[in-house]
Amino acid sequence: MRASTSGQNVQETQLQTRPGVDLVLEANDDWKIQEIGFDGVERYLKPESFTDHVGTLARKVEWTKLVGSQSPYENSKVDPEEEFDDENVAKGSQNGKSADFVTPEAGPWSVVAKQLHESLNQLNILLDDMSVIKNTDYMKALTVLDPITVQEPSMEFINTNRGNQWIWKRRALQEAVQVLDNATKQRQRALVNLGLSADYIAHLQRTQFFEELKEMREIWRVRKTGDYIYGDLSYHIFGWKYDTPNIFDISRRSFSNKTENSSLSIIEVSVPKDLAKRSMIAVSIVKDEMDAGKLFRDPKAKKYKYTYKENDAEKVEVLHWKDSLKWAQNTLLLRDTFSNLCKDAIKLRNRLSIIRDNVLLISLFDDYLLRFELQWFPFEHGEIKEEGDVYLNRVLREMIIGFECTKFIRPQFFCSMPVTHLPENLDLRGCGAMTSVQIEDRSVRPRSILERVLDVAAHHQLTQIVANVALKISESIDPMVQHRWLNCGRNFSRLMFNLNSKDYESFMGTVRSVFFANVSSYEVEVEAKDGIKIKCQRDPKRILYALQYSVCCYSVSMVSVLSRNQWLSPFQTMDANIYALDNNGMTAPNIILCNQAATRSILFIFHVGQEPEVFVRKFIVNERTSKPEEHKWRKLNYHKLSGMSLCKKVDSLLSYLRDG
């Protein structure tokens, strides 16, 4: 456009006198702006097409002048101008115009003045243009330094814009590629070098750290607050966790030397210093005697008194968390347990107890004491020798765990009621119209661990006493005593004794050959098969006596059975008394037999725990007429009777006296 106009101008200046300077400021190739609205919208002029151009030019032709105003419209007259092209038309019109509208000239300089005026006008226009450009921001040209402030596109636009999506996808892909590239690069480098790069080591350590953390989470409560990762050592299942004194910190171990210590865990834990020791509670039953040895610890001895000192901090650091956490928690658990045991012991009014230097002594029964000792060991690897009674240790442990697993707080009958400690069967105490007796029966609380351990320990000790006695009595071969445990419980056990006379089993059909010993936490009782019980309290001598007495009763029965044996020696039992007393006032079951011919009486006295005595005399026919000196009991030497066992001896004696 500009070219064409300037071309025109050039032509004009050539053809005419110079009309002044025509200054135009326009974009070099653009549609012409027709106007800029107040809203800043530009309206463009549509560029003229060829036909438009021809049209405008044609409109400029003054046809009347060409053909004369009077002459009618005739096509023929147009002929001379048939070859008119654009240029000619323009020329013609220009020429016509200038000829027609020549203003009268007012002096020789008027043309110059006019052209000068024209030029000045053009300059003014140019100035206006410049000021418009200068004051309008968006039209300013940018320099290289200017930041490009793109107007913020709306979110919707961004989201829907496919181009953006492509960019994002591409970027994401690039990131992934970068990570993968990095990994392969590292791997290759590691393979190539065999020596490991620092980056690779760091990467490995990071992965290992998270893997171990995952493993740790399977056993321990781990939590992260801010940048700190920490865990909980407390062992409670119910209620609040993360009690500040029981928290351990988790950190990543920084290896100073890359290659060493591959066996070390990457996770480093710092347990509370007071828990950095290994512990054990040893429970044992001791006798309160002069020669029982030291019931308490020697205050000067260093054993079990380990405390955390600064100088073994390094040793603690290298421990694997699996060990150190387990030990620390055990220490915490046992420390709490021991203090609870001591608290319970103080509350038990009917039992004496002494607490000193992590040793608790509490009276069990009679001379026996139950001893709890809290032992501390260094926080390092190594076998700890289990001291005390293994059974009791385990029982205590089991009770602690049982206690921890018990939920004492429970919701009541309706979920909207407050939670309670009361036993569940008391929920309906009011609306069920329970009597005070019922309420009291149902509101029994569980007993403390210490009381339960005391019961178990007492039972344990009594069982051992009984077992010793049973061993002693089983040494007897005449009759043979066998025993076996029928029932072994925490608080009640039952022992069965079986008696047997060798070679005379066939006679034993009707004889009561079985009796029992019942052991509870408080006492032992010997029970015959017919249900008669002999209480023995906790005295081994009385237990032994009761057992031997039962054997004597068996012997009496055995003698009576043998005497009745028809085919061998039919004797009559004149008298049998298992409650008889001997001269010393001790129980001594006896039996008096008389032979069929009524000539001889035989008396067997079974002193408890001793050899039987056998006496023989002539049978007294008439109690009144007989003289006592004539009918003295003659004692037979038991040893000299033929036969090895009681039954054999009785058998042979009876067969000898049968007819005599």
Partner 1 sequence: MGVTWVFEVDQTAKSVERLLESFGGECVSTFAVDISPYTPPTGNADHASNIVMHHSKCPQSTFSICPKDTFKKSPKAVCDRGFDLILSKLSNGLIIDTAGKIDINGNEYKLNDWTVRVGTAVQGTAVKGVVVEVEYDASLIVVQCREMMVEFVKYVFNKYYQTQPEIFIITEKPENYSPLDTMWQYLLIAAKLRKKT
Partner 2 sequence: MENLIDIDEEATRPQLSINSTPYQTQECVLYGSIFSKHVPDLERRLAGLCDPGCEEFFEHEMSFCLRSLASSDVKTDIKLRRRFRTDHQIQNYWQLRYIGVPEPDQKCPTIIRKEISSLVHSSDMMTYAKALGLRMDYEYMTQGKLWTKGNIKILHSSLTKSIRPGNYDSSSIKSISDSSLVEISISLPESAEYMPAAKTLRDFADQLMPLCSMEKVDYWKKMFSTATPARK
- Which stretches of the chain bind partner 2, using CB under 8 A? 236-240, 243, 336, 340, 343-344, 347, 407-411, 413-422, 426-428, 430-432, 436, 439-440, 443-448, 451
CA 500 to chain CA centroid, Å, is 58
CB closer to partner 2, 306 vs 372: 372
Does position 293 bind partner 1 by CB under 8 A? no
- Out of 91, 287, 429, 658, the residue judged to bind partner 1 by CB under 8 A: 429
CB closer to partner 1, 94 vs 438: 438
Supply the minimum distance, in Å, between the C-beta of residue 446 and partner 1: 22
Q: Which range touches partner 1 (CB under 8 A), out of 181-189, 310-318, 430-438, 642-650?
A: 430-438
Residue 59 phi, psi dihedral angles, 5° rounding: -65, -25
Supply the minimum distance, in Å, between the C-beta of residue 646 and partner 2: 54
CB closer to partner 1, 87 vs 440: 440
Per-residue 3-state assignment (H helix, E strand, C coil) for 444-509:
CCCCCHHHHHHHHHHHHHHHHHHHHHHHHHHCCECCEEEEEEEEECCCCEEEEEEEECCCCHHHHH
- Out of 290, 433, 444, 621, the residue judged to bind partner 1 by CB under 8 A: 433
Does position 244 bind partner 1 by CB under 8 A? no
Does position 144 bind partner 1 by CB under 8 A? no
Three-class DSSP category at 604: strand
Does position 430 bind partner 1 by CB under 8 A? yes
CB closer to partner 1, 300 vs 445: 445
Supply the minimum distance, in Å, between the C-beta of residue 392 and partner 1: 41
Does position 436 bind partner 1 by CB under 8 A? yes
Q: Which residue has the tokens 């037999």?
A: 593
Supply the minimum distance, in Å, between the C-beta of residue 352 and partner 2: 18
- Out of 7, 55, 239, 432, the residue judged to bind partner 1 by CB under 8 A: 432
CB closer to partner 2, 330 vs 550: 330
Does position 422 bind partner 1 by CB under 8 A? no
Tell me which H or E stretch contains 8: helix 2-15
Supply the minimum distance, in Å, between the C-beta of residue 431 and partner 2: 4
CB closer to partner 1, 302 vs 421: 421
Contact partner, 191, from partner 2, partner 1, none, Cβ < 5-8 Å per class: none
Query: Could you tell me which residues come within 8 angstroms of residue 277 by beta carbon, excluding any fewer than 6 positions away?
Result: 306, 307, 308, 327, 331, 376, 377, 378, 379
Q: Which range touches partner 1 (CB under 8 A), out of 275-283, 302-310, 433-441, 604-612?
A: 433-441
CB closer to partner 1, 430 vs 509: 430
Tell me which H or E stretch contains 45: strand 42-45
Supply the minimum distance, in Å, between the C-beta of residue 241 and partner 2: 9
Tell me which H or E stretch contains 115: helix 110-135
Work out the burial of residue 593: count CB atoms within 10 Å of its CB; fewer than 13 is exposed, 13-18 middle, 19 or more buried: buried
Contact partner, 434, from partner 2, partner 1, none, Cβ < 5-8 Å per class: partner 1
Contact partner, 47, from partner 2, partner 1, none, Cβ < 5-8 Å per class: none
Strand 612-618, strand 600-606: pairing = antiparallel
Work out the burial of residue 88: count CB atoms within 10 Å of its CB; fewer than 13 is exposed, 13-18 middle, 19 or more buried: exposed
Residues 437-496 that bind partner 1 (CB under 8 A): 439
Beta bridge partners of 131: none
Q: How do the residues of the chain divide into helix, strand and coil, expressed in percent and rounded to 5?
A: 45, 20, 40
Supply the minimum distance, in Å, between the C-beta of residue 437 and partner 1: 9
Does position 431 bind partner 1 by CB under 8 A? yes
Per-residue 3-state assignment (H helix, E strand, C coil) for 335-365:
HHHHHHHHHHHHHCCCCCEEEECCEEEEEEE
Beta bridge partners of 225: 228
Tell me which DSSP letter residue 274 carries: G
CB closer to partner 2, 427 vs 523: 427
Report which of 550, 552, 644 is spatially closest to residue 605, judged by C-alpha positions.
Answer: 552
Contact partner, 415, from partner 2, partner 1, none, Cβ < 5-8 Å per class: partner 2
Site string for partner 1, 38-77 (x = CB under 8 A): ----------------------------------------
Cα–Cα dist 572/593, whole Å: 6
CB closer to partner 1, 27 vs 433: 433
Q: Give DSSP secondary structure letters for 511-549.
A: S--EEEEEE-SS-EEEEETTS-EEE-TT-HHHHHHHHHH
CB closer to partner 1, 76 vs 436: 436
Cα–Cα dist 271/278, whole Å: 12
Q: Cβ distance 573 to 559 under 8 Å?
A: no
CB closer to partner 2, 411 vs 489: 411
Q: What is the dihedral of CA 70, 75, 79, 83, to 10 degrees?
A: 110
> What does the binding site for partner 1 look like in residue numbers (CB under 8 A)?
429-436, 439
